[in-house]
C-alpha cells in the first residue's frame, strides 16, 4: 500500500450497502482510497461479511463489554488511532458518537442520512417524509458534529415522492442515490474540494440541486 494512500475507516451496524458502494467505487478505480478498517457495533452485521470478502480488516467492538458509552468510545478511538485514518465514514452505524470521538477526529467524520437535511433528522426519516406529505425527499452527506444530523452539509441529492409511495418504496429510491452520493463526497474530500465554513460547500450543494430545479420547472 502506498505511503500517501487516503485511508478510510467505515463504521457499521447492519447490512452495509453503503459500505459496498464505497468498495465498488474503489474497485472500479473511481475512488483512490483504501478501507483500512471496518468496525461494527453488532456481532452479526452483514457488513462485516461484505468487508471480509474483499480482505478488509474487520473488528467487532461489543457494547456489552463496556460499563458505559464513554468507555466504549475510548475503545473505538484506540482502534481508529492504530490505522492513522484520514476519514471516518458512518454507514448505517446505529450508535451515537460521543463528544470525545468527535473532538478527537474533528472534521474527519462524515455520515449519510436519508433526507434533505435539515428536514427530518434522526430515525425514520423516510416515514417522516411520507407523513408530512412532502413532494420530494433525498439524501444528505454531512460532517458529524455533537448534534443529531446537524453537521455542515457536503452534498445532497433529491428524489421525487410519489402519491402512491410508502416508506419502503421511498427508502429504496433514496438508497439508490445514497450509493452514488457517498463515494462522490469521499472523493471530493480526498481531493480537498470540501472546506468547512467556505462558500465552496454552498456552491456544490446548489449545483447538485440544478437537475431537481429543472425537473420541477418542466
Are the CB atoms for 26 and 63 separated by under 8 Å? no
Are the CB atoms for 179 and 18 separated by under 8 Å? yes
Check if 113 is active-site.
yes
Are the CB atoms for 185 and 139 separated by under 8 Å? no
Strand runs (DSSP E) across 82-204, as ranges? Answer: 87-91, 109-113, 136-143, 153-160
3-state class of 20 per DSSP?
A: helix
Annotated catalytic residue within 34, 113, 132, 179 = 113
| Residues 6+ positions from 202 with CB-CB distance below 8 Å | none
DSSP per-residue codes, 177-216: HHHHHHHHHHHHHHTT---TTSHHHHHHHHHHHHHHHHHH
Cell of 45: 452485521
Are the CB atoms for 181 and 190 separated by under 8 Å? no
Residues acting as catalytic residues: 113
Amino acid at each position: 500500500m502506498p505511503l500517501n494512500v487516503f485511508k478510510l475507516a467505515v463504521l457499521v451496524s447492519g447490512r452495509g450497502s453503503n459500505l459496498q458502494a464505497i468498495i465498488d467505487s474503489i474497485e472500479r478505480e473511481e475512488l483512490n482510497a483504501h478501507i483500512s478498517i471496518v468496525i461494527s457495533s453488532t456481532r452479526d452485521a452483514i457488513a462485516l461479511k461484505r468487508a471480509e470478502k474483499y480482505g478488509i480488516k474487520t473488528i467487532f467492538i461489543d457494547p456489552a463489554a463496556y460499563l458505559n458509552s464513554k468507555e466504549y468510545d475510548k475503545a473505538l478511538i484506540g482502534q481508529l488511532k492504530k490505522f492513522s485514518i484520514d476519514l471516518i465514514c458512518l454507514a448505517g452505524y446505529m450508535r451515537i458518537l460521543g463528544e470525545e470521538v468527535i473532538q478527537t477526529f474533528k472534521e474527519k467524520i462524515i455520515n449519510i442520512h436519508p433526507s434533505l437535511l435539515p428536514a427530518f433528522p434522526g430515525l425514520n426519516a423516510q416515514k417522516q417524509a411520507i407523513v408530512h406529505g412532502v413532494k420530494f425527499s433525498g439524501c444528505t452527506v454531512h460532517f458529524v458534529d455533537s448534534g443529531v444530523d446537524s453537521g455542515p452539509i457536503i452534498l445532497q441529492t433529491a428524489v421525487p415522492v410519489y402519491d402512491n409511495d410508502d416508506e419502503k418504496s421511498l427508502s429504496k429510491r433514496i438508497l439508490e442515490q445514497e450509493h452514488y452520493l457517498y463515494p462522490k463526497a469521499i472523493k471530493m474530500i480526498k481531493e480537498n474540494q470540501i472546506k468547512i465554513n467556505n462558500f465552496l460547500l454552498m456552491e456544490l450543494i446548489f449545483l447538485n440541486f440544478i437537475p431537481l430545479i429543472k425537473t420541477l420547472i418542466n
